[in-house]
Structure 1
Amino acid sequence: MDPYQTLLEKAKKGFDTLDLPENFKSDALANLQAWLTDAMFADYVPQIEHLIESQQWDFLLDSFYQVIPFGTGGRRGLVGVGPNRINPWTIQASAQGHSQFLTKAHGEAARQKGVVLAYDVRRFTDTARYAADRPNPVMDLDCRQLAEAAAQVYTANGIQVYLFESTRSTPELSFAIRHLGAVSGCMFSASHNLPTDNGKKVYDQYGGQLIPPYDQELVDEVTQNVSAIKTLDLDKATGNGLLETIGAVVDEAYLSAVAALQLSDARGVKILYSPLHGTGLTSVYPVLKAMGFDIHLDPATSNLSGAFENVTFNIPNPEVIQSFDTARPNADAIGADVIMSTDPDADRIGILVRHGGEWKFLNGNEIGIVLTEYAIEQYRQAGRLSGDNVIIKTEVTSSLIDTIASENGIQCIGDLLVGFKYIGDRMNRLEAEGRQNDFILGTEESHGFLMGNYARDKDAAGAAVWLAELASRLKAEGRTLVDYLDGIYAKYGYCHNYLTEIRLLGARGIGRIKTIMAHLRENEISSVGEFGVAEKIDRWKGEPQPHLSPTDTSSRNVLILKLDNLPDTRSIRITVRPSGTEPKFKIYIEVLGTPFDPSDIVAAKEKIVTIQQKLERAFMSYCYGILGVDFPERGYLLFWQLPLDDKLKYFEVEQKIAALKEVADAADRRARLDEQLAFLGANPVQKVDPAFVARYGKGLLKYLGLN
């Protein structure tokens, strides 16, 4: 029998042991056969053989059952072997399809105006699944290599390529497309994902990500019309004038555009800045430094590194408060007033504020609320505020921003689907109407903000400028950003926005997410726990009908439950959707209160937070019930981003962990603990400790005598 046929037979038998839909298995086998027999995949075969020989059936099927999809932010996911992984083939296939798409859409202009390619710091070093003693085309694969692999394809298709000389931020890519007059651009990054991930975000001629139906046209071109991948040696491409390296000249123009956002000359705040090992070193840091702010780099996280080694959990996400852990002692050492951080491609920003002797975290909604009020104040003071001014936000972003805009007599486009590309599209419409100067701010709850007309994707640098100005002014007044936010709440009402998720990995996870959404969509829901449901809104309904494309259907896969008001609330809502880029079911809970006397702030906040917490437990328990999962109450104390299966596995091993107390030798006890918690990845004790304390009354390490 053909050796590859033997491997396929083994894989088929292995897949038959999995509780998954048959079409997943048949599609995986078909793709597996292609990768084993087609010469273009020869470099991947040794690792495919290893995955089959080591019987990693779940992982193997997930690697091969589909071509990695295009979501709200483009293509991103695990680096690895197979069509459902990021690797040189999936990147080059995408680039070939994108080349064909651009040529069809723009003709000769696509070749002449070209594409801009930028990349961040990621490098794949994971050895858990693959054999170290066999050739591996994805080991040590970094963003630069992915960008160069794509450049080989674009230039082979006759398309001019502008490639950044070294790592740059996503917003500078967006700026560069507009600045250079290119027809498109690509960012090679996985944003704030784990170090095991990478990806490619595609941008249009306006510097924004593709919206429906154009993203679907690109997907169709890549998945249906790529019969062969053209490549050209980069030295030849350079010699032919098809590849141009860019750097300092574009940097200077970009940094000038960001600095022009200045609304105030206040400068007194001391900032510790953490780029979380990423590209903010080329954007946030130089622009604030040049503008005269007292900004200091965090020594622990200011080296470029795709391992994110000094970030807790190795998750370089400013939405996660633990990402500030290593920066805090360094900020204390210099007496910093605020800590700012950005994700590896520097489009998202996070901030900690020193307030009352403690560090206070502002989430993405709170930052957006602060920036909205600050901009309105400064525009009014400068005589620039009018009824034509516009704030743009997504639907899951705090509705308090709508309230602030309305009560200040300006417009708020507040019902956009999730994804900054929809904000960028509305900015394009304003520009087409000659109203670009009416735009004040674009904001989304996931720590993304844009001001000005120089880009079409969120930019941490612009937000950093406004936050630094405001913090400086407040410092001179003896106040902080927390005081400022509390004043907004007293004036308009406290709005508590809370994001959580049910993370469900792999092909089985996708099916379970679909099960939850289908149940919520198809069944009447009269109440969630003690909360009555006043209205259910399905974003699959409404205009346009029919949907523009499958990607439009995917983006509109959003359900909103509006709940009955309680005393002292203006509105209560739950919004749910599958993530477009990660394997998770996202849950946004918002409780908006009424205005209150500033002296009553503690009680006002507690009342709203209590409502949110009751609603969260009730709704998540409802969703777990849909999956047939009996989820322990203490499970809500585990690190919220853990996959559901890992949370359940922890409770399976918890008693075994507690029993380690009886192991006499401390070193042996520690080794066994590490072995039991290995499935949780980096910093496992921190991820489970609150749940352990709730049962055993002590932290895990203290209980085991290991602290």
Structure 2
Amino acid sequence: MDKYQTLIEKAKKGFGTLDLPDSFKTDALERLGVWLTDDMFADYVPQIDHLIASGQWDFLLDSFYQVIPFGTGGRRGLVGVGPNRINPWTIQASAQGHSQYLIKAHGASARSRGLVLAYDVRRFTDTGRYAPDRPNPVEDLDCRQLAEAAARVYAANGIKVFLFEGTRSTPELSFAIRHLNAVSGCMFSASHNLPTDNGKKVYDQYGGQLVPPHDQDLVDEVTGNVSAIRTMNLDAAREKGLLESIGSRVDAAYHAAVAGLQLSDARGVKLLYSPLHGTGLTSVYPVLKAMGFDIHLDPATANPSGAFEHVTFNIPNPEVIQSFDTALPNADAIGADVIMSTDPDADRIGIMVRHDGAWKFLNGNEIGIVLTEYAIDQYRKKGRLTPNNVIIKTEVTASLIDTIAAENGIDCIGDLLVGFKYIGERMNRLEAEGRQDDFILGTEESHGFLMGNYARDKDAAGAAVWLAELASLLKADGRTLVDYLDRIYAKYGYCHNFLTEIRLLGARGIGRIRKIMDHLRENEIRAVGDFAVSEKIDRWQGEPQPHLSRTDTSSRNVLILKLADLPGTRSIRITVRPSGTEPKFKIYIEVLGRPFDLSAIEGAKASLVDVQKRIERAFMADCYAILNVDFPERGFLLFWQLPLDDKLKYFEIEEQIAGLKHVADAGERKQQLDGLLAFLGANPVQKVDRAFDARYGTGMLAYLGLE
């Protein structure tokens, strides 16, 4: 038996110990055999050998049981060794398949028009699973290296590459595709994911992400038709005119397009801006600065860095309120009125507002509501508002936006599937009909917004312009964005939207997510706790039938439970779906109320929030029961983005943590606590402290005398 066969036999025996479907094990072994024996993967073999020798069976199987799928945001995931990881091979295989797809779709123009490549700040440093004394193709792997690896493939296939000479934002990539009349583009980024991740988003000739069935055609080409990967040296590509660096000229045109969104010349607000270590330094900051806004960089997060070292939990996501932690004292120090932040590829925006002496966070739905009302107001004042104007949003985004549009006599396309690509595709239809000027705003609950016709993916810079203008107008009137939002609620009705998730990692996690969805889809659901279910909507039903592609089926894997109205509500709904880009089951709860007198706002809000909380507890308890998980009530106090297994593990060791108070030496006590909580990653105490406090009556560090 040769060395490779011995390794396969060891892996087969190790996989046999895992409680996973046999199909996962079979597929993993088949792919593992290819990577161990094909010369193409020779650089990866030393680390595969290490993973087998060290018995990391769960990790190894998850690395090999599938090829990284194409989800709502493209391909992204953990950097590492194997087909289910981001590495030079998976990126180059994707680029080869993409090259073949482009040539089939566009013919000779694919080669002459070319494609644009952009990348953000990510760099992989978390190599703890791998052997430090062996060659490792993914050690210190960054987005620039991934972009160059892909460029070598595109050039070898005769497709001209326009490569940004430094990090840039995703929306600037979308703009550049349209500006340069390219046939496609790729963004190397994992957006707001943890530092362990990276990825590649693929864009079409209009600057949007591919929609079904075109994304399926690409996936089929990559996974079924790549027999060999062609590569070319970058110097040779440049000499042949197949590689061109781009930068300042595209920047100038993009910045001008964003500045052209201006609806007001008000400039009185003071802004602190946090790029969360990302590419907003090339988009949001220079645009607002050039437009005359009083904008200041957050000194803690203004340095480009893929480690996201000054972001709580190392999660650079403006949807997560803790991502503002380090900016808050710096905003106070300069007397800022507003804090804005963007994720590493600067397509999502977050905002906090100083209101009545305290900082208030606005979620993505609230920002979308504010932008909708502001745009309609300004369009009307400028004589631009007509019945042909349109707002476009996804179905899980606040339905109050539909109400605002209807009551102002304009259209709202509000039932799109999750993914900004569907908003971009509707914009393409408007443009094809010569109606691009009718478009006002595209909005999604996950802090994504687009206005204008210069791009086809969400752009934090455009949203920042409108928010800064509105905040300036309000400041001159002694009001804030929170005041503005409250008046909207009083006028149209309070809309309480809540997002949570059950994060289930690895191959086993995919099976558990599928188990929840299958149960909810296949069984009659009469009630969620005390709330009667009036209707269940399965987005697998409806037109088009049959589904356009497997990616269409995946995108439409959405269930909506409409609950019976209560006094004071107009609609209550729960929407669930598996994430297309991360290993989690997403749950959206919306409670829509009725108009009220502004003086009664606190009561109006509180009653709807109470309804949401009751629904959340009851529905998630039902989901945990499907998984045969006994989930403690205090589990809802843990950081919501923790994986389920980590939440359960915390409760297993909680008494052990409390017992550390009997360790006499404080240094030893702290060391043992760090060891127990190491599995929680960055800022571990902060992730579990509320649950600990609920049981022991005080925070963990105070209880252990470690404050």
TM-score by length of 1: 1.00
Letter of the structure 2 residue corresponding to residue 467 of structure 1: L
**Partner in structure 2 of residue 131 of structure 1:** 131
Counterpart residue number, 1:193: 193
Cα drift, residue 636 of structure 1: 0.2
CA offsets per residue over residues 129-183 of structure 1, 9 Å max, x none?
1111110000000000000000000000000000000000000000000000000
* Greater Cα offset, 663-672 or 123-132: 123-132
Secondary structure of the equivalent of 2:151? Answer: helix
Shift of 1:128: 1.7
1:178-217 pair list within 5 angstroms: 178-217=178-217
Say whether residues 1:149 and 2:149 are aligned partners. Answer: yes
Task: Please give the secondary structure, in 1, of the residue aligned with 2:525.
Answer: coil
Task: Give the alignment's Cα RMSD to 1 decimal.
Answer: 0.3
What amino acid does structure 1 have at the position aligned with 2:260? A
Q: Secondary structure at the match of 2:152?
A: helix
Amino acid at match of 1:483: D
Using the alignment, how far apart are the partners of 1:240 and 1:155 within structure 2? 9
Q: Which residue pairs with 1:108 in the alignment?
A: 108
Q: Counterparts in 2 of 1:656-667, with a 5 A limit?
A: 656-667=656-667
TM alignment of 1:376-525, pairs within 5 A: 376-525=376-525
User: Which letter does structure 2 place at the counterpart of 1:400?
Assistant: L
Which SS does the other structure have where 1:500 is aligned?
Answer: strand
Question: Residues of 2 paired with 1:47 and 1:308: CA distance?
Answer: 27
How do 1:549-560 and structure 2 match up within 5 A? 549-560=549-560
Offset, 1:111: 0.2
Alignment-derived partner of residue 357 in structure 2: 357
Q: Which residue of 1 aligns with 2:697?
A: 697
Question: 2:282: which partner in 1?
Answer: 282
Q: Deviations over 1:100-129 (max 9, x none)?
A: 000000000000000000000000000221
Question: How many Å separate the matches in 1 of 2:189 and 2:127?
Answer: 20
Give the distance between the partners of 2:396 and 2:14, measured in 1 at CA.
42
Distance 1:200 1:183 in 2: 17
2:318 is the alignment partner of 1:318: yes
**Aligned AA for 2:97?**
G
- Provide, for residues 178-225 of structure 1, a one-character-per-residue CA deviation record: whole Å limited to 9, x for no partner: 000000000000000000000000000000000000000000000000
SS at match of 1:261: coil
By how many angstroms is 1:463 displaced?
A: 0.1
> Which residue of structure 2 aligns with residue 638 of structure 1?
638
Paired residues in the alignment total 707
Counterpart code for 2:53:
E
The SS at the match of 1:623 is helix
One-letter amino acid of the structure 2 residue matched with residue 505 of structure 1: L
Partner of 1:90: 90
* Equivalence for 1:118: 118
Q: What letter is aligned with 1:653?
A: I
Alignment partner of 1:679 is 2:679? yes
Aligned counterparts, 1:339-350, within 5 A: 339-350=339-350
Structure 1 counterpart of 2:445, one-letter code:
E
> Structure 1 CA distance, aligned partners of 2:291 and 2:127?
44
Structure 1 residues 557-600: Cα deviation after superposition (integer angstroms, max 9, x where no partner): 00000000000000000000000000000000000000000000
- Distance in 2 (alpha carbons) for counterparts of 1:602 and 1:199: 43
Q: Distance in 2 between matches of 1:228 and 1:676?
A: 47
Question: Can you list the C-alpha shifts for 1:330-374, whole angstroms capped at 9, x where unaligned?
Answer: 000000000000000000000000001100000000000000000
For residues 314 and 345 of structure 1, what CA distance do their matches in structure 2 show? 15
2:607 maps to amino acid? K
Query: 3-state DSSP class of the match of 1:652?
Result: helix
Does residue 367 of structure 1 match 2:367? yes
C-alpha distance in structure 1 between counterparts of 2:236 and 2:450, whole Å: 39
Cα distance in 2, alignment partners of residues 226 and 54 from structure 1: 32
Q: Which amino acid aligns with 2:453?
A: N
Matched-pair identity in %: 83
SS at match of 2:112: helix
Distance in 1, matches of 2:499 and 2:531, equals: 18
Q: Distance in 2 between matches of 1:611 and 1:45?
A: 54
Separation in 1 of the partners of 2:6 and 2:228?
Answer: 28
Counterparts of 1:59-74 in structure 2 under 5 Å? 59-74=59-74
Determine helix, strand or coil for the equivalent of 1:201.
Answer: strand
Query: For 1:45-64, what aligned pairs fall within 5 Å after superposition?
Result: 45-64=45-64
CA distance in 2, matches of 1:509, 1:430: 40
What amino acid maps onto 1:64 in structure 2?
A: F
Q: Structure 1 residue 637: deviation in Å?
A: 0.2
Separation in structure 2 between the aligned mates of residue 131 and residue 597 of structure 1, nearest angstrom: 64
Q: CA separation in 2, counterparts of 1:104 and 1:447?
A: 35
Runs of 4+ in structure 1 deviating by more than 2 angstroms, as ranges, are none
Which one-letter code corresponds to 1:291 in the other structure?
M
Which residue in 2 is equivalent to 1:7? 7
> Hey, what's the Cα distance between the residues in 1 that align with 2:654 and 2:557?
37
Q: Aligned partners of 1:490 and 1:613: how far apart in 2?
A: 22
Query: Match of 2:341, SS?
Result: strand
Cα distance in 2 between the residues matched to 1:387 and 1:2: 74
Q: Distance in 2 between matches of 1:191 and 1:469?
A: 26
Counterpart of 1:533 in 2: which secondary structure?
Answer: strand
In structure 2, C-alpha distance between the alignment counterparts of 1:272 and 1:49, rounded to whole Å: 49
1:527 pairs with 2:527: yes
Q: Distance in 2 between matches of 1:546 and 1:388?
A: 32
Aligned to 1:598: 598
Which runs of no fewer than 5 residues in structure 2 stay unpaired?
none
Matches within 5 A, 1:250-269: 250-269=250-269
Any unmatched runs of 5+ in structure 1? none
Cα deviation per residue 1:41-78 (whole Å; 9 max; x = unaligned)? 00000100110011000000000000111000100000
